[in-house]
Structure 1
Amino acid sequence: MAPYAQVDESLRALAGKAEGFGRRAVGGLYGPVYHVTTLADDGVGSLREGCSRPDPVWIVFDVSGTLHLSSPLRVSSHKTIDGRGQRVKITGNGLQLSKCENVIVCNLEFEGGRGRDVDAVKIKPGSRHIWIDRCSLRDYDDGLIDITRESTDITISRCRFSMHNKVILIGADSKNIEDRCIKVTIHHCFFDGTRQRHPRVRFGKVHLYNNYTRNWGLYGLCASLESQILSQCNIYEAGEKKVVVKYVTEKAADTEEETCGSVRSEGDMFLSGAQPGLLPGGSAGCVFCATEFYPEWSMEPASEELMKALEAYTGWQAIPMPEETT
């Protein structure tokens, strides 16, 4: 996966290497390394203790196994949760990124979150400069990733989503007009047989490229309420359901007119009868150009080779923990 050839050369080489809107996320670059030595939910050497520290911390794991969270794990600003070198599965609950900035979450598994409103990764309110990379996420009672309430400048990359209904929500509801600030990049991800929300977007600007969405259960993307979705060189392979884009009209709290979102598709591949979807009323609204916000991104044409690569190299990876260098 070409965009990240260098990020595993040393422990902190991840910092600032995201593409897209989350590219300024440096995580715990300027803090000490914290070692998770127990899979206990709390206490000395636990992930929860490391995430709660007020100063920058680069968190690594000395143990593999299942970490059962009895309540949401609040992540404070300037943290890297780096699962390289081990295989850690988070269950029961998920991560909560609330009013924080500069957070990187890398190479973890999330599975089996239980309870009302339990998400794998909940990003709200007012969080920014976030990067979620190489995580496997499936089977939570609510969402897998929710980005709402003025959270912005976020990148989700090389993640694998499976066995789930509501995958990624961007923009809370029609009342939260402050979500017009939201900007998210999703790239090199694999959505495998999930039902809906790949993603669902209200208000925000979302750049999708080199993702593979296969055999969705309801729709591929949902463009609602002023959203702008730029879809470049993605692969949409239909199963029983053929429509890729669902357009939903809603009325923002400060307007009288109901509107849906807009999608611009460039270089996307539609397989097995996948249909882009019909826009209500016929004419598309304005969609941003990515170059307005960042100068470059690593994108290749949609192809069978890209499909195979995304099947093999998304989600948790059995890679060694890189060495710490000064």
Structure 2
Amino acid sequence: MSNCMDGLIDANEGSTAITISNSHFTRHNDVMLFGASDSYSPGAMIQITVAFNHFGKGLVQRMPRCRWGFVHVVNNDYTHWMMYAVGGSQHPTIISQGNRYIAPPTLFAKEVNKWGIAEVRQEGYHQAKPGSFVTRLTRFSGALDCFPQRPC
């Protein structure tokens, strides 16, 4: 997914039980936004998992940005960003496990996480694999190479 008019993936208005996995993201500013507004408190019901994704070249921020709710960010590969990778505001709970962050060379972009009012837990590897496994876990992320009338 890349180069869209607005956010690549937005979950709002109380959307829940969402998994975003095995995707490859490039060339975009606002990648993911969970919860549309700081004032929409029903967003506290959001439950989202972001797993086994590759966040690649040309991304700026929001991988994801979370307002409200519960978000599990697990075994993702963050190799590029221009502002920050994961952010939160309005009291989300974000559990980050087994992600690999390779910071860009610019001093301004060394911030991996940007927190407003958020509860963040960088936890061990209960069901997540250690960050050293991320390359293997995400190597096939992205679009399937499928053709009509043939198995993928």
Q: TM-score, normalised by structure 1?
A: 0.42
Q: Which has the higher contact order (CA 8 A, sep 6+)?
A: 2
Asked if 1:262 is matched to 2:116, the reply is no
1:209 correspondence with 2:74: yes
Q: Per the alignment, in what secondary structure is the counterpart of residue 19 of structure 2?
A: strand
- Unmatched runs of 5 consecutive residues or more in structure 1: 1-136, 249-259, 269-295
Deviations 1:130-180 (A, max 9, x none): xxxxxxx10002100000001000001101110100000001111211101
Could you state the TM-score of these two structures normalised by the residue count of structure 2? Answer: 0.88
Is the 1:196–1:217 Cα contact (8 Å) retained in structure 2? yes
C-alpha displacement at 1:309, in angstroms? Answer: 4.5
CA distance in 2: counterparts of 1:190 and 1:227, whole angstroms: 23
Match of 1:161 among 25, 46, 49: 25
Write out aligned runs for 1:1-326 (5 A).
Answer: 137-193=1-57, 194-239=59-104, 240=106, 241-248=109-116, 260-267=117-124, 299-303=128-132, 305-310=133-138, 312-319=139-146, 321=151
Opposite residue 135 of structure 2, the aligned amino acid is M
Q: Letter of the 2:7 partner, please give it.
A: G
Aligned residue identity for 1:183 = Q
In 1, Cα distance between equivalents of 2:137 and 2:18: 23
Q: Where do 5+ consecutive residues of structure 2 fail to align?
A: none
Q: Report if aligned partners of 1:267, 1:302 keep a CA contact under 8 Å in 2.
A: no
Contact 1:236 1:244 in 2 (8 A): yes
Secondary structure of residue in 1 paired with 2:2: strand
The total of aligned residue pairs comes to 145
Q: Percent identity?
A: 34
**Which of structure 1's runs of 4+ aligned residues deviate more than 2 A?**
319-322
Q: 1:41-88: per-residue Cα shift (whole Å, max 9, x none)?
A: xxxxxxxxxxxxxxxxxxxxxxxxxxxxxxxxxxxxxxxxxxxxxxxx
8 Å CA contact 1:233–1:301 kept in 2: the answer is: yes
Q: CA deviation at 1:306?
A: 2.5
Which secondary structure does the structure 1 equivalent of 2:18 belong to? strand
